[in-house]
Structure formats: structure tokens, C-alpha cells
Amino acid sequence: MNILAIDKRAQILNCLVEGCSMRSTSRLTGAAKKTVERMLVSAGTACADYLDKAMRNLNCKLLQVDEIWSFTYAKQKNVPQDMKENGEVGDTWTWVAIDAETKLIPCWHIGKRGAPDAYQFINDLAERLAGRVQLTSDGLKAYVEAVEGAFGAEIDYAQLVKLYGNEIGTGEVRYSPPVCTGARKKCIMGSPDKTLISTSHVERQNLTLRMSNRRFTRLTNAFSKKLENHKHAAAIHFMNYNFCRVHQTLRVTPAMEAGLTDHVWTLAEVVALIQD
């Protein structure tokens, strides 16, 4: 089998992390669509494996978590009856954690929006931390038991519950979210600093994810057809975000700010992680 040169594979990766679909990546790079898909799988696997090993014993202090919606194969209401029991189609939620100080994303999880996935996500997060942290989430009830089970009493945990007005209007107006009329800070465990209770950074990361990853773009046909490929695309995004993309506020990458590396990674270095 012919193996593409590193610069060619880096070019394909560059298109994928800049929001191009697999078909447009194929047109831009001249690579076959099957080649682009194989690159997505191999790079996604390599990135997930590397991040799993690198994101350990982290000295994060101020964490925020949130979930971002997308769908796989079809929206939940359009899933065929014979596929209703298939957990890999329909609504797909990406759970994301971010360090508000270094902007590092220590972990993420892709699944449904229920207690089992909350438990798996929060337990994964807890295993990666070196010490006590302050954690803020939205008002999703599944977080409470998950955080208590993973951290016990060794955490300062609060929820930021946003209040919204009634959704009104028709036509293009209905695509806009309801107006946020306020927010309530709710201390759940420990002694969180109320001035630091926020989900702004993780919500901004959600926007970055939607802008950078074509599969998360709303109101288009650029959704994932297979959950496996959805996970690979997310792994490539988070690798690029942590190690390759200079944060505009920090002027370095999140991984550099967190002390995980001493330089800005190139996509060629990411390609080098792939085991052919």
C-alpha cells in the first residue's frame, strides 16, 4: 500500500482542523476521499492515544464542564424504528472539560446526555488531576451524583443555572436561542469561590468546536454518519487545540501554558504520532 508523504498528510489534517468536510478536503488536497477517511481514522486514533497518556497528573485548579449537542446518522426524531435501540445514532453529546486558567482541555467524552455518560466523563476527569480543584457545571442533575462519586468531599463544586425567557417569534428568529434573563450560582460541595463560578470559558470552547469541526456545524448536511468517525474528528480537534493552535489570549498553546510541552506543535509532528 502506498503511504502518503508527511507533508501531504499534514495538509489533509490542516484542512480537517480548519473546518473542511472530507469531500472538500479531497478536492483541496487532490487525495481520494477514501484516503482522507483513512487519514481521519489513523490520526484520530493516534491523537486520542497520545492525549490519554499526556493528560495525567495535571495541576489544574479551576475547571469548567459542559455538553455540546450534535447528531449521528440522523436527528433523534428521524431515526428509523429498527435503529431506535442503537446507541450510536441520533442525538450525540460531547462532554468537555476545560481549565479556565491555562485553557487546557484535559478530557472529553462522546455519548448520550444521561447519568452513565456523566459518571464516565467525570470519573475520567478525576483520574487526570493532581490535586483539589474548583469545578463549575451547568444545572444538569446528572453531574451532582457523578461528581460526588468521583471526588467525594475533595472538591469545591458549584453549578451555574441560567434562566431564560420564553421563546417567541417565527421564521429565522426561532433559530436564535431564548434570551438569557439571569443566572443563579448554586454551591453544591465544598467551599467554591463564588466570584470564580462560571461556565464562560467552556461555552466559548463549544463555539470554537462548532467553528473548527465541520461535523458540529448547525443547519447543514455536514453531520457524522458514523459515531466512530465523529470520535476521531473530535480527537484531532482537541489535539490541535491543545498542542498546535496558539491561544489568542495566552499567546502560547494551552499545552505550553500547562507545562506539557515547550513549543508549538506542527501538524507534521501530529502525523508522526501515527503508527503506519
Which own/partner pairs from 137-141 qualify as long-range (CB within 8 Å, at least 24 positions apart)? Answer: 137/64, 137/65, 137/66, 137/199, 138/66, 138/67, 138/162, 138/199, 139/186, 140/67, 140/113
pLDDT of residue 175: 57
pLDDT in tens, 65-99: 999 999 999 888 888 888 877 778 889 999 999 99
pLDDT of residue 134: 98
Strands (E), 123-246: 134-137, 156-164, 180-189
pLDDT in tens, 91-130: 999 999 999 999 999 999 999 999 999 999 999 999 999 9
What percentage of residues in the chain have a pLDDT greater than 90? 74
Q: What domains can you pick out in the chain, each with its CATH number? A: 6-271 (3.30.420)
Nearest C-alpha neighbor of 126 from the set 176, 37, 170, 63: 63
Provide mean pLDDT across the span 22-45: 94
pLDDT of residue 1: 39
Calpha distance 43→275 (Å, rounded): 9
Mean pLDDT (the chain) is 91
Helix (H) or strand (E) holding 92: strand 90-99
Provide mean pLDDT across the span 35-42: 94
